[in-house]
Chains A and B, each alone.
Chain A
Amino acid sequence: MNCENVIHELSDFIDGDLNAALKQELESHLRNCEDCRLVVDQTKKTIEIFCDSEPVELPSEVRTRLHDALRSKFKEAAH
């Protein structure tokens, strides 16, 4: 497996979707290739950072409009 193959299999490797043989080949390449190790680690970190980012509070005027619309919907459904 070369560096180009690693990049093509990167997502499946990160998601744990690679079959055992390919995973072993890729891990063997990573042991000897610092550049690919960086790409794999940093791509994992990128996903982790986005995944862990907390959504900000809803702007109060947006929230008010949403809940007003919901209350109208509830009333409409009740009749």
Chain B
Amino acid sequence: MSCVSPESKPDWKAYVLRELGQDAHRQAEAHLATCSICHEEVATLRLTLDTLSTLREEEMPRRIAFVSDKVFEPRWWQRVFNPTFAAGVLVAVAILIHGFMGTGHTSQDQVDAAVTKAVSQVEARHMQEIRAMYEELDVRNKQVANMYRNAVLSR
């Protein structure tokens, strides 16, 4: 059966989006049961909405955090191992040791050497962490590439 009065057709978009009132919804369903044109229109709209629903919800790169947020407040050991804090501590310790052992004849070169050593230790640790992250990223990239390849091959 064809739709004889297109002007009085129900609002099909509102219908599939569940925005019609109860009475209008019932009338629309009654019309739908007898009109093949409208039936097809509704089917296409539903298919479009179904397709839209395939869009993946993305994970957040990190959580929202606030300054006064106790949940995200770093623990004591996280504070200690914070790179900036740790570098500061190392430099301070190096200067102190140097002060105790220097017995009065501290040269600027010795201070510079102690600072350089402390900073290089921190930098080396950072490089190690970054390398580990890259290695993990590489493994995951390979896993994703394999999944993609398998998906294409299984088509």
Say whether A associates with B: no
A interface list, Cβ under 8 A from B: none
B interface list, Cβ under 8 A from A: none
